[in-house]
Amino acid sequence: MKINNVIKYLFLFLTVYTFGQNPTFKVKYSEQLAVFVFLENLSDYYPDNVFKTEFQKSKYNVEKYKNLISKFDQLSISYSFRFEDFPYGSKKTMQTQDILKKNLIETNNLNEFKLRSAGMIPNKTLSDLGECISEFTPIYNELIYNSNKEKFEKQLSEIIKYSNENQIENYFKTGLVFYNSTWDDSIPFEAAFYPLPNSKGFTASAFCNNFVSAIQTDLKSHKDLFSVMMHETYHIIYDEQSLEVKQEIDTYFKENKSKCSNYAYQLMNEVLATVLGNGYVYEKLDGKIDEGEWYNNKYINLMAKQIYPLAKEYIDQKKPIDKNFIDQYIQLYETNFPDWINEMSNIMTYRYVITENEKDFNTINKMFRYRSRTEYEDQITESSIEKMQNTPLTKMVIISKDAKEKVKLLKYKFKELKNWKVNPDKEFVEKILLGDKSQLIIVNQKKSDLETLIKSIK
């Protein structure tokens, strides 16, 4: 798609900034990514949204294109691998879908995209993905982009101007210092925006060296957008801490004697991104602190506000996170929110569930929609229990058959259950705080439905 000369000029000359370590910072529109997101939103698995509404009332809502949407839905493009040498959960699992989106942003056409992405997913899948994007590009432009082009391009130029005027690049450097992290200055940081018409809000995500956001075409508050943008960027900076720094932080949490240290650790990544992005950056851009909610989750919102004075002190003094910071963070968590380690809506955000009834996973997902890290196993065996034990997540085992054998196995594998006395012939739910300071929840299900049993947990 052709972009007018003014926007081309802005892309070339106004979107390159310099951080303290001299990487470039670029703002752009990516048509390829926008069409990919458009296809995602047309899926039956997605809730109602403006993209789906526009498509369904258009002339393109016919069998040919509905079949292509189904084809897109069924493409296996999400593979992942963990960085095994890093402490569990301290570094984001690599997702092929993130790399594919990165390549969509950073290439100029689908041939370049497929060449760069070859070998990441099967070639047939990659070819089918390219076909879907190609077929829906003119549809996306006709239904969404063209009618919003003028407003969107004006928004984009205003975003670039706002970035320049407020030296947004300095907040990246602030994050590098605070997180004791690094960035290779040969790798540009690219922010890709696309229009979101008829919306009162916007969406945002970050991965690799990319920030992606839909922006409403009548966006009024750039400080809101950029505080969220930096929030997501701080997740990347946290993720890029060296192995040595990750191991030091992990040790500080594990050596702390507080019973709350594990769940404080699980919460920290999101809390710190909220503190810096929605707290510090917003305050700098607006001239005053945001008196409203910083995050739409009570645990993250309340903890972020609780540690803000401590974090701001470190930021102002250009001090990186250290043992003193971690110890004070844990103390603030335990002093102000000691009951959180027993609240199911909190501890089930980070969960490892083993059950032999796969329907239980749907029940768990329905009851605890907000989740940060999840692991699921469909066999209760010595091996699956050992894998679960090697994580700091909340551990839930749901027994629905062979209860005597399964109870015996659990007692054998968990030393905390040595003196545990239960009747496997009767229904029960037990919650035990383990030595690694994670909660173990054991459900012995007989007649009651799982949701009722979980709701009975004290």
Share of the chain above pLDDT 70, in %: 95
pLDDT band at 14 (very low <50, low <70, confident <90, very high): very low
Q: What are the tokens at 237?
A: 């900076």
Mean of pLDDT values over 347-368: 96
Rounded CA-CA distance 324/179 in Å is 14
State yes or no: pLDDT of 436 exceeds 60: yes
Q: Sorting pLDDT into bands at 50, 70 and 90, what band is 27?
A: confident
pLDDT at position 18 is: 40
Report the C-alpha gap between 116 and 137 in whole angstroms. 20
The Cβ of residue 280 has, within 10 Å, a number of other Cβ atoms equal to 24
* Whether residue 372 has pLDDT greater than 70: yes
When pLDDT is averaged across residues 249-260 and rounded to a whole number, the result is 98
CA quadruple 258, 263, 266, 271: dihedral positive or negative? negative
- Is 0.95 surpassed by the pTM of this model? no
pLDDT at 17 (0 to 100): 39
Q: Is the pLDDT of residue 7 over 80?
A: no
Residue 375 pairs in a beta bridge with 352
SS3 content of the chain, % helix, strand, coil (to 5): 55, 15, 30
Is the pLDDT at 314 greater than 80? The verdict is: yes
Supply the pLDDT for residue 22. Answer: 55
Q: What is the pLDDT of residues 77-106, one digit of tens each?
A: 999 989 999 999 999 999 999 999 999 999
Is the confidence at residue 224, as pLDDT, over 80?
A: yes
The band of 181, judged by pLDDT with boundaries at 50, 70 and 90, is very high
**Confidence tier at 23 by pLDDT (50, 70, 90):** low
Q: How many CA atoms lie within 13 A of 241 on its CB side?
A: 26
pLDDT given for residue 439 in this prediction: 98
Q: 3-state DSSP call for residue 384?
A: helix
For residue 199, pLDDT beyond 90: no
Question: For position 164, what pLDDT does the model report?
Answer: 84
Q: Report whether 306 contacts 257 (CB < 8 A).
A: no
160 vs 412, more confident: 412
Residue 11 pLDDT greater than 60, yes or no:
no
Where b means 16+ CB within 10 Å and e means fewer, 281-301 reads bbbbbeeebbeeebbebebbb
- Please check whether residue 444 is in contact with residue 422, taking contact to mean a CB–CB distance below 8 angstroms: yes
Tokens linked to 391:
């994580």
Average pLDDT of span 344-360: 96
pLDDT of residue 212: 92
User: Is it the case that residue 323 has pLDDT exceeding 70?
Assistant: yes
Q: Is the pLDDT of residue 274 over 80?
A: yes
Per-domain residue ranges of the chain: 5-237, 242-338, 344-455
Give residue 198's region: left, alpha or beta (phi > 0; psi -120 to 50): left
Report residue 26's pLDDT band, with 50, 70 and 90 as the boundaries: confident
CA dihedral 367, 272, 204, 86 (to 10 degrees): -80
What is the pLDDT at residue 368? Answer: 96
Confidence band for 204, pLDDT divided at 50, 70 and 90: confident
Q: Residue 217 has what pLDDT?
A: 77
Q: What's the pLDDT at 5?
A: 36
Is the model's pLDDT at 203 over the cut of 80? no
Q: How confident is the model at residue 2 (pLDDT cuts 50, 70, 90)?
A: very low
Is the pLDDT at 408 greater than 50? The verdict is yes
Give the residue-averaged pLDDT of 52-79. 96
Distance of CA 4 to the CA centre of its chain: 34
Name the least confident of 93-97, 156-160, 310-314, 450-454.
Answer: 156-160
For residue 29, what is the enclosing H or E element?
A: strand 24-29
